[in-house]
Chain A
Amino acid sequence: MSRSRIAMAVAALGGSLVGVMAAAPVVSPAGAAALPQCPTAALAKAKGTVDISFWESMNRTNGVTLTKLTDQFNASQSKVHVTLVDQNSYTTTWAKYQAGLSNGQLPAVAQLQDVQLQGAIDTQSILPAQSCINATKYKTSDFIPRALAYWKVGGIQQAMPFAVSNPILYYNKQAFTAAGLTPTKPPATLGQFVADAAALKAHGSGVGLKLDPWHLETWLATANTLFVNNTNGRTARATKAVFAGKNALKVFTDLDQLESSGDAATNPYQGPDGYDNLLGIGSGKYGMSIDTSAALGTIATLLNNGQYPNVTLGVGSFPVLTTKIKGGVEPGGSALYISNKVPPAQQAAAWQYIAYLDTPASQATWAAGTGYIPIRKSSAKTATVQKLWTTNPGFKVAYEQLVNGATTPATAGAVIGPFPTVRTAELTAEKNMYTHGMSPAAALKTLTQQVNAALTSYNERLGVT
């Protein structure tokens, strides 16, 4: 062949290769499947209004704000109409979602709890948000990186965060003063938390220690410790636990010491949902407690209504494991998932609704109405949110925790298929320590075994071992 012919062939080959690569869909590193398309064309072609339903899990109070936002969305355009279906709790929504997988009745949008992330992916019934982000060229730079990072698996944004919270420290400033502690300086590390608890106990109160596995995981995240392998389950499916180490042992030992010394009262029998640790701050039983930032609105209202003259509520950041390691507080809460089992037009419509709920203005309204963290940085600058933070600076704490700190796979949180089983195992480990006198090291060992067993069994059932 002549040189020019070869050159032309190479050019053609190169050109076609480039063309192929440009047209090729993004391949997720964690799986073999290519990213599905966001059916925006179907929505554009649809005649009349596309009706979609949204299975939401919020309680009644937050439901009011959600209804307001949804009404605004419905009124602002006539292409998509959203009907809210209140499932009342994350557990119910997930149970109904699973039932829907077999009877075919699934909504276009579902609000699923953080721990259901890998499970939702494994049901093969969701359309990753990334598809629609790509199709509509949606800009995500304004989002708090860690809020997005939690729900990004295998480099793909699976769902969009919506009702985000993290654990914070609630304390009674008056109790602190009475115990000789500085009311403006709540404990910043776990060690100080333990020390302050002793001081509080010596002066009549103590600590309400809620058995919530989320707190265990958050302590590890603040020490930048991974929970499971394969980069916390984000680059590939998690197959074993990797958290057992010096940091986890310190958490277990400190908590055990808090409980056995009597400085802290715990709730091993009521479970996380039934524990009135925050009300105990009101009644003077506890001087401080760690709990979700989502409860701040209710608790602040309750404690400020005049019934508790001996209480001045203070809010501090989650006491990190140690200041020597740069970690971060992991986000929690829920995200919005698009189901791929509804007609394509509805899927694209679902994306429009989700995008609306995540605009800076909506997030500002949402944060002010519910106490969840506004996940867009520009929301933080709006008058609504600024006013909220001036009236009650406690709300700012959760936001700053999410913005500050490192965003790494450890601080983004773990992605685990059988997360509910793992959470139960964490609870059992704590119960074993507090009520059966198991040593922290033994409890940690049993926990590791149980987590590994859960992962192995789940992966085997899924057929991916």
Chain B
Amino acid sequence: MRSRRLREALLGYLLVLPALFLFALFVFYPFARNFKLALYQTPPYPNLPSKYVGLHQVGQVLTSSNFVESLVTTLLFVVLVVPAGLLIGLFLAVVAQRQLRGLAMYRIIFSSTVVTSVAVSALVFYSLMNPVVGLLPWLGIEPHPSVLQSTTWALPAVALMAVWQFVGLSFIIMSAGLQSVPEEVLEAARVDGASSWTVFWRVTVPMLSPTLFFGVVVATIYAFQTFGQIDILIGYQNAAYEHVNVLIYNIYTTLTYGGNPGRAAVMSIALFLITLLFTLLQLRFLERRVHYAR
């Protein structure tokens, strides 16, 4: 008996080992080391030694105008993308909900943007917004400087692209959620004389709230992690770069162009904590209002 238990335990550890080893090496060790990196000031050239400066670097980075602007840009971006992305997805899901003829095709179209990768969506919108080959001049929009190089319009342009790309995922999530709202309940409410609007707000939305909550969490994380689109649509060499310099992009440029891992480490910890904070806040305030069926 004893040896069987022992063998089972050993087998258990053995099976868990590959994943655990990979996590230890590529997730936990880097996470811990990040804190150490944040405390060391790295020299401009990789072959020179780093200097321990403790929290001085942390304070310096967090109070620098570059970081603060980056943080504001990131938050602005999240505000532009999350509500719009979720609401459009919800709207499309509601409209495509019924078992009607031909709706399968519409559903595929609405989910299609989920398979457009980062680079594809960015290029698609780059071609639309380019001042020479794009559509904007035809629409009468010919600002100088062009939209993608404008310090005011670059961020909304990237946000528009991010919303478009997110709508596919949003639609899928909302559709799945709507499917869990029993048709009978909706019918009952309608038979009782409630208008579609009331049905929607008083019945559908509360029953949809776990999904909405999930959607908000997913959308926020997506917005915080948006990187490739900015790199392709705007890029480091662009005049408008500072106005789309969200935190994750800032971390990348600090690391690769600035050669400053210490500073990048501080910013990545900040981004991690902010994302965590948002998720916890959402858990606290939003989950309270979620109606669970059982």
Binding site for B on A (CB under 8 A): 98-99, 101-102, 119, 122-125, 268-269, 271, 417-418, 431, 435-436, 458, 460-463
Contacts and interface: CB of A to CB of B under 8 A. Distances in A.
Contact of B237 (A101, A271, A458): A271
A463 B47 contact: no
Most buried by A among B44, B51, B146: B44
B260 interface: yes
A101 B45 contact: yes
B259 interface: yes
A119 B41 CA distance: 17
Nearest to B149: A269
Given A417-B44, A461-B42, A461-B43, 11 more contacts: A98-B45, A101-B45, A101-B46, A101-B47, A122-B48, A124-B47, A269-B145, A269-B239, A431-B239, A458-B44, A462-B44
A418 B43 contact: no
Contacts of B238: 269
Contacts of A462: 43-44, 48
Nearest to A421: B258
A125 to B, nearest CB: 7
Contact of A435 (B42, B239, B259): B239
| Number of chain B interface residues as a range | 10 to 19
Contacts of A458: 44
Contact of A463 (B51, B237, B259): B51
A461 B239 contact: no
Given A461-B260, A463-B51, A123 B45 contact: yes
Contact of B145 (A101, A125, A435, A463): A435
Nearest to A99: B46
B252 to A, nearest CB: 15
A461 B44 contact: yes
Interface of B: 41-48, 51, 145-146, 149, 151, 237-239, 259-260
Nearest to A435: B145
Query: 7 closest A-B pairs (Cβ-Cβ)?
Result: A102-B46, A101-B47, A123-B45, A269-B149, A101-B46, A269-B239, A461-B43
A98 B43 contact: no
14 contacts: A98-B45, A98-B46, A98-B259, A119-B44, A122-B44, A123-B47, A123-B48, A124-B48, A269-B238, A417-B44, A436-B151, A461-B42, A462-B43, A463-B51
A293 to B, nearest CB: 25
A119 B42 CA distance: 15
B239 A122 contact: no
A102 B47 contact: yes
A70 to B, nearest CB: 28
Contacts of A99: 46
A122 B259 CA distance: 14
Contacts of A122: 44-45, 48
Given A269-B145, A460-B41, A125 B47 contact: yes
Contact of A461 (B41, B46, B145, B151): B41
Nearest to B259: A98
A124 B46 CA distance: 11
A446 B237 CA distance: 20
A460 B262 CA distance: 13
A292 B42 CA distance: 36
B171 to A, nearest CB: 36
A269 B48 CA distance: 36
Contacts of B43: 461-463
B45, B46, B48, B237 — most chain A CB neighbours (10 Å):
B45
A44 B164 CA distance: 68
Contacts of A119: 44-45
Contacts of A460: 41
Contacts of B45: 98, 101, 119, 122-123
A418 B239 CA distance: 20
Contacts of A123: 45, 47-48
A40 B11 CA distance: 64
Nearest to A271: B237
Nearest to B242: A428
Nearest to B145: A269
Nearest to A101: B47
Nearest to B53: A460
A233 to B, nearest CB: 15
A99 B46 CA distance: 8
Contacts of A436: 151
Nearest to A120: B45
A302 to B, nearest CB: 23
Contacts of B239: 268-269, 431, 435
A435 B239 CA distance: 10
B238 to A, nearest CB: 8
A431 B46 CA distance: 32
A105 B259 CA distance: 18
Contacts of B46: 98-99, 101-102
A435 B146 CA distance: 12
A88 B48 CA distance: 27
Task: Point out which of A119, A418, A463 has the most chain B C-beta atoms below 10 A from its C-beta.
Answer: A463
A102 B259 CA distance: 12
Nearest to B260: A461
A461 B49 CA distance: 10
A421 B43 CA distance: 15
A119 B46 CA distance: 12
Contacts of B44: 119, 122, 417-418, 458, 461-462
A119 B47 CA distance: 13
Contacts of A271: 237
A271 B239 CA distance: 9
